[in-house]
Structure 1
């Protein structure tokens, strides 16, 4: 008799809960959206909710991990499409700029969550820090291929440009913010490329 592999696909109810939470948490804030509303809009029972997510915090963590997976996918795609480190970094910046100009843009999901969970010991805050560390590490690795000696400050500079653009994109003209962000990244990369060239020539 053939052995049947277990079905590891997430249930339709869990997907509905997570999709609903992602939409509401991002659009309206995490604390302002209660479990009852998520249950109602996902059209599941309370027992179903708690079977998949023992607490609201578990759902919030799942939400942040899903957003992380989406953002990581965009970054990985930019790197794959642009093998040269400078082009990879420009590709990442381009994906960020495109996101800022999307109709439903409401800032960085992780920065928004950080404002609601300032306690550094809270699992949600720790999830935010883990995501941001991944992003910084990814940029640092790429920046090291541009100019190793300044990779760390250059990567942090990129993150600060990105954070500023994500905040400004909610308040001002998204197209202008995106353009300013891209010019900032291009300038940063130009400086570090010139440093690398100067070091090579010396």
Structure 2
């Protein structure tokens, strides 16, 4: 087997592990899923898991990093459209609403992880805090760009609305929750501008 083939095989196995862990962690919770199940469903050996991840915590961190990249990508894609600032805020809100209405939605992966890892010193909790800080800073910048003042307050309001919608969206009618969330975004834009 060539090195290129080995590298391809290695990255495919890592991707299978991460995809499997992501699917199960998000659907069922992190603590409820053991590495044996991930190995079995990813159809790899235990040695393969440990070749790519030092342990379950490192796999969890990779899962959260992948979720973080996905959310950043969504925001970057909206920003790349070159919309007026208030429309950018609305488009980010619509992107969040689309996620809430998607099949299998179970809330925010980061809030779910924080609930399972409440120790502020744990690396998983630290990864959640880092993502949340980025999201707050991004929301604040979006609000500042849209002329909402004070941007720090309106950014926090946007994050809190999003968090509430993410929590309620998996408990109640997602369409109603999304409509309420988007109405809240409009309210922020009206009162903050």
Q: Is the shorter-chain TM-score for this pair beyond 0.5, marking a shared fold?
A: yes
Find the aligned partners of 2:10 and 2:89 in 1 and give their Cα distance: 34
Find the aligned partners of 1:126 and 1:36 in 2 and give their Cα distance: 26
How far the C-alpha of 1:149 sits from its partner, in A, is: 4.2
Alignment root-mean-square deviation, CA: 1.6
Find the aligned partners of 1:8 and 1:24 in 2 and give their Cα distance: 24
Find the aligned partners of 1:59 and 1:93 in 2 and give their Cα distance: 30
Give the 5 Å matches for 1:91-106. 91-106=91-106
Scaled by the length of structure 2, what TM-score is found?
0.93
2:145 maps to which residue? Answer: 145
Scaled by the length of structure 1, what TM-score is found?
0.89
Find the aligned partners of 1:43 and 1:145 in 2 and give their Cα distance: 48
How far the C-alpha of 1:100 sits from its partner, in A, is: 0.5
Q: Could you list the per-position Cα deviations for residues 11-61 of structure 1 after superposition, in whole angstroms to 9, with x for gaps in the alignment?
A: 100000000000000000000000000000000000000000011000000
Find the aligned partners of 2:192 and 2:62 in 1 and give their Cα distance: 37
2:135 maps to which residue? Answer: 135
Moved over 6 A (4+): 7-10
1:196 maps to which residue? Answer: none
Aligned residues of 1:82 and 1:91 also touching (Cα < 8 A): no
2:22 is equivalent to residue 22 of structure 1: yes
1:187 maps to which residue? Answer: 187
Find the aligned partners of 2:134 and 2:88 in 1 and give their Cα distance: 16
Q: Could you list the per-position Cα deviations for residues 79-99 of structure 1 after superposition, in whole angstroms to 9, with x for gaps in the alignment?
A: 112432111111110000011
Larger radius of gyration: 1
Find the aligned partners of 1:145 and 1:65 in 2 and give their Cα distance: 27
Aligned residues of 2:136 and 2:156 also touching (Cα < 8 A): yes
Query: In the comparison of the two structures, how many residue pairs are matched?
Result: 188
Find the aligned partners of 2:57 and 2:129 in 1 and give their Cα distance: 16
Find the aligned partners of 2:145 and 2:25 in 1 and give their Cα distance: 37
Aligned residues of 2:148 and 2:189 also touching (Cα < 8 A): no
2:59 is equivalent to residue 59 of structure 1: yes
Structure 1 residue ranges without an equivalent (≥5)? 194-202
Find the aligned partners of 1:134 and 1:81 in 2 and give their Cα distance: 21
1:114 maps to which residue? Answer: 114
